[in-house]
Amino acid sequence: MSDPQIGILMLGIFILFIFLGFPIAFTLMALGIAFGYFAYFDAGRMWRGYERLVEQGAEGWQVWQAYIDGFFNNRIFDLFVNQTYSVMANEVLTAVPLFLFMGYIVERSNIVERLFSTLYIAARRVPGAMAVAALITCTLFATATGIVGAVVTLMGLLALPAMLNARYDKSFASGVICAGGTLGILIPPSIMLIVYAAASGTSIVRLYAGALFPGLLLAGLYITYIVVRSILQPSAAPKPTDDEVGDVPLSKLIWMIITSFVPLAVLILAVLGSILFGLATPTEAASAGALGGLALSAIYRALTWDKLRDSVYLTLKTTAMVCWLFVGSWTFSSVFSYLGGEHLITEFVVGLNLNTITFLILAQLIIFLLGWPLEWSEIIIIFVPIFLPLLEIFGVDPLFFGILVALNLQTSFLTPPMAMSAYYLKGIAPPSVQLIQIFKGCMPFLIFVVIAMVALYVFPQIVFWLPNTIYG
Amino acid sequence: MLQVIHFIDRFTTWVGRSFSWLILLMAFGMGYEVLSRYLFNAPTAWAYDMSYILYGTLFMVGGAYTLSRNAHVRGDFLYRLWKPRTQAKVELTLYVLFFFPGILALAFAGGKYASQSWGYMETSVFSPAGVPIFHFKTMLVVGAVLMLIQGVAQVCRCLVCIRSGEWPADVHDVTELEDQLLESGGQDYVKNPLDIGSATGGKDQ
């Protein structure tokens, strides 16, 4: 068996071991070390000290110790520690705990209900007003927090009963909430894009700039769909009677917007703007965002000791989860490429005679399928690096690929069997809303994700215009 | 056995939680750097080093706490269909086969790495301030040792489960907001969900 074949064996064994449900970080670590021990095995080098002692004619315990030391003299251990340290000192990943902390603080700041009622009143003359308001609330809130679960449950508590009360179609209403809440992983500043940047070596700043318009495009498509469907099928989103709409004076509406929409929008724009225009590194902007989130929470009188403590502890747990996964993955993948496994995969894919478009379709299809059993963190940290060497061959910019992946992973939150967004919503929704209705409601939005992906392929300028304009 | 589990859990939780407050230090420290650079035109020489030292320490030390709360991500789509006893047997095997060798390697190789760094009191190369980083490299060992200690507790958990057929109950811990809401049905978060969004609704009126 040649080295590259052993590399493929290593990958195969790893995929089998995922099924055993052991924490993946440690599986990666152990397989990396075991196969690395084999790959870097060099008897001459490892037992050099022992050989020297034998030549000198030394005897006894000293020789035995040198012999045992030989076993631990494998270069894999240095590699392992170096990879671990490079995760610890990674300048991109430093932003992860800060953005997480900002998200945890903002999601506890009681802002959602104000935001939703304000946006509803502002949009009340628009067809499907409540759904539009729900979608924009989800989008903004998910963008600020960068986390999917919380916004879906919060909106499931607030907006779903309100929409059902207004006789909205159950599927339609739940689809809006799931799709809107999932947008947060795409629109920057999102944590998933930071993780992609660290995993692929792409510039996080360019990635953020590139993701902005695709994110807005998808949100725009969603809103258009909601409005058009509300016009075409009024029974899905009945118009409120004049009585229900009520009358809110303009001055009061403006005040509501100033106190709910503006602070959150300013927070997002300040964080994103300072990153895009190079005023601050993502880490610095994230810490400013975290401080801003604390201030916001304090202004809304939501900053209690309990909430602060919860946020701090949760930040630690999530950071540790993501970063230990990186430790395992970087050790694993450097051994994998040292064995030449990457090379073999590249040769295989080249042998398939794909062109750029068929390669992209195949790659996205694989990532879509991986989204069924796995979470985004595993897909990005472990599997995306396998695709990276192929991108060069097919002339695909890793930046462009990253945006496609972020779009694609929207679907993994919305399709069974691992549709996290749908499950969260089901968990909190009134019992009359069935899981199947939620899935049905998500389907139209999935079509728009695919449309957005095709649009990006046809007009790559949607991705490249902003980064190229700002950074040349 | 249960006492061992609880003792170790309490210990790693205490250590992890104590270090988790570094996130506030990180936020305020970096915030100070931005302020100082733009308002006083005086960028600090230590902010960059501080950011990764705090972040690296945070996740290395937090790893054991995260393990104790079962928060390291698993591919559990088959795993959760199994009986607890089967889960525990598989897990016990993999702790012995994967976890301990891997983490022991980290502890020993990390120890060598850190002691070299201590040998010449290594400082950071990123700024003239000469921020020391030998203690930061020691965090490799600290993190690994905490992991080993927690690993003992995890093995005990598996043993208890193999014997009794049920996983020992977890200690209560902070949960994600969505889980809190799912558990409580959202009663404590939103008083009258139906009020909000109706035309005259909105809490602050």
Between residues A136 and A59, the one the model is more confident about? A136
pLDDT surpasses 90 at A88: yes
Distance CA B86, CA A20 (A): 10
Percent of chain A surpassing pLDDT 90:
47
pLDDT surpasses 60 at B141: yes
The CA distance from A59 to the nearest CA of chain B, in Å, is 27
Q: Do A84 and B110 touch (CB under 8 A)?
A: yes
A320 close contact with B: CB closer than 8 A: yes
Q: Do A19 and B75 touch (CB under 8 A)?
A: yes
User: Which residues between 83 and 112 in chain B have a beta carbon less than 8 angstroms from any beta carbon of chain A?
Assistant: 87, 90-91, 94, 97-99, 101-103, 105-106, 108-110, 112
Q: Provide the domain limits for residue B160.
A: 2-72+83-172
Indicate whether B62 belongs to any domain: yes
The CA distance from A362 to the nearest CA of chain B, in Å, is 23
Q: Which of A114, A120, A130 sits opposite B204 (nearest CB)?
A: A114
Indicate whether B153 belongs to any domain: yes
Distance CA A12, CA A16 (A): 6
Per-residue pLDDT, B202: 36
Chain A interface disruption, residue of B112, B116, B133, B174, most A CBs within 10 A: B174
Percent of chain B surpassing pLDDT 90:
50
pTM, two decimals, is 0.89
Per-residue pLDDT, B176: 77
Residues in B touching A294 (Cβ below 8 Å): 27
Q: Which of A25, A84, A133 sits opposite B140 (nearest CB)?
A: A84
pLDDT band at A243 (very low <50, low <70, confident <90, very high): low
Tell me how many domains chain B contains.
1
pLDDT surpasses 90 at B125: no
CB atoms within 10 A of CB A31: 22
pLDDT tens profile A275-314: 998 889 999 999 999 999 999 999 988 889 989 998 999 9
Q: What is the mean pLDDT of chain A?
A: 89
A394: left (phi over 0), alpha (psi -120 to 50) or beta: alpha
Per-residue pLDDT, A143: 87
pLDDT surpasses 80 at A274: yes
Indicate whether B201 belongs to any domain: no
Q: What would the mean pLDDT of B153-179 be, rounded to a whole number? A: 84
Per-residue pLDDT, A397: 93
The CA distance from A127 to the nearest CA of chain B, in Å, is 15
Three-state SS sequence of A324-343: HHHHHHHHHHHHHHHHCHHH
Distance CA A65, CA A61 (A): 6
Indicate whether B186 belongs to any domain: no
Per-residue pLDDT, B200: 37
Between residues A472 and B12, the one the model is more confident about? B12
Indicate whether B202 belongs to any domain: no
pLDDT tens profile A166-192: 889 999 999 999 999 898 888 888 889
Distance CA B195, CA A158 (A): 9
pLDDT surpasses 90 at B138: yes
Per-residue pLDDT, A244: 61
Per-residue pLDDT, B171: 67
In the Cβ-directed half-sphere of B27, how many Cα atoms lie within 13 Å? 25
pLDDT band at B195 (very low <50, low <70, confident <90, very high): very low
The CA distance from A353 to the nearest CA of chain B, in Å, is 33
pLDDT tens profile B25-51: 999 999 999 888 888 888 888 888 999
Q: Do B140 and A88 touch (CB under 8 A)?
A: yes
Q: What is the largest CA-CA distance in chain B?
A: 70
Percent of chain A surpassing pLDDT 70:
99
